[in-house]
Amino acid sequence: MQETVRTQVGIVGAGPAGLLLAQLLTRQGVDSVLIESRTREYCETRVRAGVLEYGTVELLKEAGAAKRLEREGLRHNGVYLRVRGIDHPIHFRKLTGGKTITVYAQQELVKDLIALRHAKGGRIVFEAESTTVHQIEGPKPYLSCRVQGENYQIHCDFIAGCDGFRGISRPSIPEGVLQTFDKTYPFAWLGILAQVAPSSDELVYASHNRGFALLSMRTPEISRLYLQCEPDEDPEAWSDDRIWSELHTRLARSDGWTLQEGPILQKGVTGMRSFVVEPMQYGRLFLAGDAAHIVPPTGAKGLNLAAADVWVLSEAFARFYASGDRSLLDRYSEICLRRVWNAQRFSSWMTSLLHCFPHDSAFDRRRQAAELDYVVHSRAASQTLAENYVGLPFEEL
């Protein structure tokens, strides 16, 4: 038995990119169907990013998806760069004309967007197997999948590939079309979620000769902390005591400040890489988010880049359906890639500024120390960091 569905935009992936695109399209009166290979529970509990740029929060408000975020999100006015045990505040509000960031866990945003989707009667097909993209070169593309033994076909005008780095969308583009830019860093992050109130009012980025460390948070009761580690690190080789001991060492502050400990709820290793494909579109298929680009997490740009992509894409689809104008769709890659490469530049710079590279010479280490010193003592350098961290303005379309 086969069910055939007709929609305007078929969206592959019910992560934040796909869900936000669907919500933006709904607000524009454009119909869509989402297909997701995972269960709803998996999507709503998968721990990922948590730092939202100022512009991303404004976009979520515009999309009608920020009610709980505004109640529960943790607004931050800056970050601390901790160098040789001394905190150097980077005041976002002072340096950017009042802009801030908000910490709100990705899985909570996904829950909000799924609830909104269902409240509006929108369709999400979870647990879709063998999803395949068809006929993207022609005017009538479609998606096929199998759900609980039933075959589905989703016929649409366009397909949005929002299914991440390992999804099926990007590989559906013929060989030779895409140019790939890739860099793998010689370290990773060991990350934990701990049931303990954050030990700092702001995020702390710590430079230490044993490796980088980050103190972040997800809620007033849950802390998120990271340690630079080997790229092939086994998280199970790290006992809770070893993790806390290393965090105490790398996050130590010269004034006797104490890092508070609590039960570790989750731990895992995140690889560090940069990845971009150009173009981000082919025929009737448009890539967004991690399907098209990945940034190292140091600059907190991954989720925010995905939001910027789907904003451009939603505006392009809305313009097409309102007037038949394809010009914005045709320029989708050009517009998005400018922001993507700016984010790659900033994320790479932050990564090189704060991490220990295994083959650095004594000269490299002194140069890095001098750059950190310049950043924390120069208003111009601090302002550059702040402007990029809170997010560059969205482009005029």
pLDDT > 70: percent of the chain: 100
Catalytic residue of the set 226, 297, 332, 355: 297
Separation CA 53–CA 103 (nearest Å): 9
- Note whether 14 and 161 are within 8 A (CB): no
Write the pLDDT tens digit of every residue in 237-280: 999 999 999 999 999 999 989 999 999 999 999 999 999 999 99
Question: What is the mean predicted confidence (pLDDT) over 280-309?
Answer: 97
Domain limits of the chain? 2-76+101-181+273-355, 186-272+359-389
2-76+101-181+273-355 and 186-272+359-389, same CATH topology: no
* Structural domain 2-76+101-181+273-355, CATH architecture: 3-Layer(bba) Sandwich (3.50)
CA atoms within 13 A on the CB side of 128: 26
Question: Whole-number mean pLDDT of the chain?
Answer: 95
pLDDT-derived band of residue 395, with 50, 70 and 90 as boundaries? confident
Catalytic residue of the set 142, 226, 332, 389: 389
Tell me if residue 321 is catalytic.
no
Say whether pLDDT at 109 is over 70.
Answer: yes
Backbone φ and ψ for 132, nearest 5 degrees, come out as -135, 140
Write the pLDDT tens digit of every residue in 64-100: 999 999 999 999 999 999 999 999 999 999 999 999 9
- Note whether 315 and 288 are within 8 A (CB): no
Q: What is the SS3 assignment for the chain?
A: CEEEEECCEEEECCCHHHHHHHHHHHHCCCCEEEECCCCHHHHHHCCCCCEECHHHHHHHHHCCCCHHHHHHCEEECEEEEEECCEEEEEEHHHHHCCCCEEECCHHHHHHHHHHHHHHCCCEEECCCEEEEEECCCCCCCEEEEEECCEEEEEECCEEEECCCCCCCCHHHCCCCCCEEEEEEEEEEEEEEEECCCCCCCCEEEEECCCCCEEEEECCCCCEEEEEEECCCCCHHHCCHHHHHHHHHHHCCCCCCCCCCCCCEEEEEEEEEEEEEEECCEECCEEECHHHCEECCHHHCCHHHHHHHHHHHHHHHHHHHHHHCCCHHHHCHHHHHHHHHHHHHHHHHHHHHHHCCCCCCCHHHHHHHHHHHHHHHHCHHHHHHHHHHHHCCCCCCC
Catalytic residue of the set 76, 99, 293, 355: 76
Write the pLDDT tens digit of every residue in 15-64: 999 999 999 999 999 999 999 999 999 999 887 778 999 999 999 999 99
Q: What pLDDT is recorded for position 337?
A: 98
Catalytic residue of the set 142, 152, 205, 226: 205
Fold entry, domain 186-272+359-389: D-Amino Acid Oxidase; Chain A, domain 2 (3.30.9)
Chain-centre distance of CA 113, in angstroms?
16
Write the pLDDT tens digit of every residue in 136-166: 999 999 999 999 889 999 999 999 999 999 9
Tell me if residue 118 is catalytic.
no
Tell me if residue 297 is catalytic.
yes
Separation CA 277–CA 243 (nearest Å): 36
Cα angle 166, 168, 170 (rounded to 5 degrees) comes to: 85
C-alpha distances in Å from residue 331, one per residue of 37, 46, 316, 336: 30, 33, 9, 9
Separation CA 379–CA 251 (nearest Å): 24
Tell me if residue 185 is catalytic.
no
Say whether pLDDT at 2 is over 80.
Answer: no
User: What is the reported pTM?
Assistant: 0.95
pLDDT-derived band of residue 1, with 50, 70 and 90 as boundaries? low
Tell me if residue 171 is catalytic.
no
Cα angle 160, 295, 163 (rounded to 5 degrees) comes to: 25
Catalytic residue of the set 282, 301, 332, 355: 301
Q: Which of 94-98, 120-124, 287-291, 300-304 has the lowest mean pLDDT?
A: 120-124
Question: What is the mean predicted confidence (pLDDT) over 102-128?
Answer: 94
Question: What is the mean predicted confidence (pLDDT) over 298-318?
Answer: 97
